[in-house]
A and B are shown apart, each in its own frame.
Chain A
Amino acid sequence: MSNKVEKINIKAALTLATTTLLGCHNLAQAETAETDTWEFDTAFLVYSEVDRVNAGEAILNAKKTFDDDKILNLKLTVDALTGASANGAVAQPTVQTFTRPSGNGQYQIKAGDIPLDDTFHDTRVQFNGQWTQPIASNLTASGGVHISKEYDYLSLGVNGNFSVDFDRKNSTISAGFSYFQDTFTPEGGIPKPLASMLIGDSSAPTWDDEFIKTRIGTEDDKTTTDILLGFTQVINRRMLMQFNYSYSIVDGYLNDPFKVVSIVEGSNENNSGVTQDVIYESRPDSRVKQSIYAQSMYHFDSTVLDISYRYMWDDWKINSHTIDSRFRIPMGDSLGKESYLQPHFRFYQQSAADFYRPFLIDDNTLPTFVSADYRIGEMTAFTVGLKYGMLINNGNELAFRLEYYRQTSTDAGFNKFGALNDVELYPTIDAIIAQVTYSF
C-alpha cells in the first residue's frame, strides 16, 4: 500500500514538473494529466573503467501520447565523469612530466606507465524535446531540439524527420536531418596544433607568458550536419527489417585539446626511442562520415532476436564494423512477474585514421595532421552483457543490466625500436557497465 501511494506521488510530482516545464498547462490541467497518458522512463547507469574513467549517468524521460497520435517526448540527462584518460604520449623507461591542460601545474607518470591525464572531471546536463505527429494519411513528421551543457562545452541541436508508410503499413521510408552547433571552451584555452607542450617550472614568473604562446584562443566550435535515410519492411508475421544510410559532415574544431603526440629519437644510429618532445595533436578541420546500417527483429515462438550490423567509413580513412545482438528470453513468472533475461553481445572493429601515429620520429619535418588518440587508432572491442527485467507495481517495468566492455588497441604496422620495445604502446581498456531502469 505504501508503495502505491509513493508511486502515485512521484508520478504526480513529475507530471506537474513536466507540465510546468512545458509552460503550456495550468495547474488544473496538470492535475488531471495524472490520469492521462504520461509515461516515465528512468535510468541510472554507472560506467567504470579499471584505473581510468568513472562515469555516472541518469536519464528521466517523459512521454505523452495525445488522442490524435501526437507524441511529446521530453528527456533530461545528467552525467558526471571523473578519472584518468590516456593523453596520447608513449610510455617511457623513465619518469615523464606533463603540463596540465589548464597550464596550472604538472603531473608525473611513472617509468613504464602509459601517460594518463587524471584531471578529467566534468558534469553535463542535457535536455531533449521531440514532437511527433501525423500530418497526413500515412505521413508522419517529427521535430526536436537538443541542448547539452558541461563546464567547458556547449552543444545545441535541432532535428527533423519525415516518414511515409505504404503497402498496409508494411513498408516505411523515412528521411531525417539534424544539425548541431558545439562550442568548446577548455580551461587553459585551445592549444596550438603541433606546438610543443611547455614543461618546466610552472611557478616561474615567466610561465604564464610562455604558456600562452602555446595557445591560439579561448574557444572554438564545430558543426555537425547529419542526413539519415531509412527503409523499414515487415517481412512476415515474425520478422521486421530496417536499412539506413547516413551521411554526416563535421566541420570546425575537431582536435581533442587534451591529446598530445610524443616525438621520439629514431633518426640516428642510436634509435633510442626516447622521447625528445611532446606536441599537441592536429586533426583536419572537416570529416565526412557515411554509414550503412541493417537491423532485423525476429520473433521465435517465445524469444526475440534483435541483430544489427553497421559499416561506417569516412574521409579520414577510418572504417568500422559493428555487430550488435540481443536475445530476449521470457521467463514467465519464474524470476518475477513476466520476467525476462536478455543476453547482449556486441563486436566492434575499426581501422586507424590515416594521420594516426602512436608516436613521431625526430627526423621528419612535422606532418600537417597527426594524432596519437587511441580512439582513432586501430582497435577491436566487444561487449557482453545480461539484462534482467520484470513487472512490479501494477505493470511498471524494473530492469537491471550488467555488461563488460573490453577495448583492445592494436598495432596498425608501426615499427617499434629502442625504449619503445620495453613499454606497452597499445593498451587494453576494461570497463563494467551497470544500469537500473524503471518505467512507470
Chain B
Amino acid sequence: MKTKMKLTLLVPLIVSATGCASLGVEPWERDLLAKDEMSLNASPLDSALDDHIYFSKEASSGGKSFGGGGCGCN
C-alpha cells in the first residue's frame, strides 16, 4: 500500500521533471525571453562592480561566474 502511494506520488513528479513537452518554448514564443532585461546577466557592469565590492569585503566569491583572483583586496 505504502509503495503504491509512493509510486503514485513519484510518477507524476518524474513525468513533470523530465517531460520535455512541458519545458521550454518554441522559437516564436521568445518575445519576452528575448528582452535585454530577461538575460541572466542583464547588467554586466553592475555585476562586475558588485563582485569587486563583495570579493573585497566577504569570504565568498564567484558562483554566478568565475570567482577568480584579480586584486589584493582579500
| CB nearest to B40 among chain A residues | A242
Contacts of A244 in B (CB 8 A): 63-64
Tell me whether B74 is interfacial, beta carbon within 8 Å. Answer: yes
Question: Contact between A57 and B52 (Cβ–Cβ < 8 Å)?
Answer: yes
Instruction: Give, as a whole number of angstroms, the nearest-CB distance from A127 to chain B.
Output: 11
Tell me whether B14 is interfacial, beta carbon within 8 Å. Answer: no
Provide the B6-39 mask, 1 if CB < 8 A to any CB of A, else 0.
0000000000000010011111011111010111
Question: Contact between A237 and B62 (Cβ–Cβ < 8 Å)?
Answer: no
Tell me whether B1 is interfacial, beta carbon within 8 Å. Answer: no
Contacts of A291 in B (CB 8 A): 60, 62-63, 67
Given contacts A41-B45, A153-B72, is CB(A234)–CB(B60) below 8 Å? no
| CB nearest to B42 among chain A residues | A306
Contacts of A168 in B (CB 8 A): 24-27
Provide the A157-185 mask, 1 if CB < 8 A to any CB of B, else 0.
10100000001111100001010111010
Question: Contact between B23 and A299 (Cβ–Cβ < 8 Å)?
Answer: no
Tell me whether A65 is interfacial, beta carbon within 8 Å. Answer: no
Considering the chains assembled together, what is the distance between the CA atoms of A67 and B63 in angstroms? 32
Contacts of B66 in A (CB 8 A): 159, 176, 178, 226, 228, 246
Considering the chains assembled together, what is the distance between the CA atoms of A153 and B48 in angstroms? 19
Tell me whether A132 is interfacial, beta carbon within 8 Å. Answer: no
Contacts of A79 in B (CB 8 A): 52
Contacts of B38 in A (CB 8 A): 240, 297, 299, 304
| CB nearest to B64 among chain A residues | A293
Considering the chains assembled together, what is the distance between the CA atoms of A236 and B36 in angstroms? 17
Question: Contact between B23 and A155 (Cβ–Cβ < 8 Å)?
Answer: no
Number of interface residues of B (CB under 8 A): 44
Interface of A is mostly: strand
Question: Contact between A126 and B70 (Cβ–Cβ < 8 Å)?
Answer: yes
Chain A, interface residues (CB within 8 Å), range: 35 or more
| CB nearest to A128 among chain B residues | B48
Question: Contact between A59 and B68 (Cβ–Cβ < 8 Å)?
Answer: no
Question: Contact between B64 and A148 (Cβ–Cβ < 8 Å)?
Answer: no
Tell me whether B49 is interfacial, beta carbon within 8 Å. Answer: yes
Question: Contact between B72 and A350 (Cβ–Cβ < 8 Å)?
Answer: no
Question: Contact between B53 and A429 (Cβ–Cβ < 8 Å)?
Answer: no
Provide the A412-440 mask, 1 if CB < 8 A to any CB of B, else 0.
00000000000000000100010101000
13 contacts between A and B (CB under 8 A): A59-B45, A155-B69, A167-B23, A168-B25, A226-B62, A244-B64, A292-B63, A299-B35, A312-B60, A387-B46, A405-B53, A435-B46, A437-B43
9 extra interface residue pairs, beta carbon distance < 8 Å, beyond A79-B52, A124-B71, A375-B58: A59-B48, A167-B20, A181-B69, A182-B72, A228-B62, A289-B60, A295-B64, A328-B37, A353-B59
Chain A residues near B (Cβ < 8 Å): 41-43, 45, 47, 57, 59, 61, 75, 77, 79, 81, 122, 124, 126, 146, 148, 150, 152-153, 155, 157, 159, 167-171, 176, 178, 180-182, 184, 222, 224, 226, 228, 232-238, 240, 242, 244, 246, 248, 250, 256, 289, 291-293, 295, 297, 299, 304, 306, 308, 310, 312, 314, 318, 320, 322, 328, 340, 348, 350, 353, 375-376, 379, 381, 387, 401, 405, 407, 429, 433, 435, 437
5 nearest A-B residue pairs (beta carbon):
A170-B24, A153-B72, A180-B69, A293-B63, A310-B63
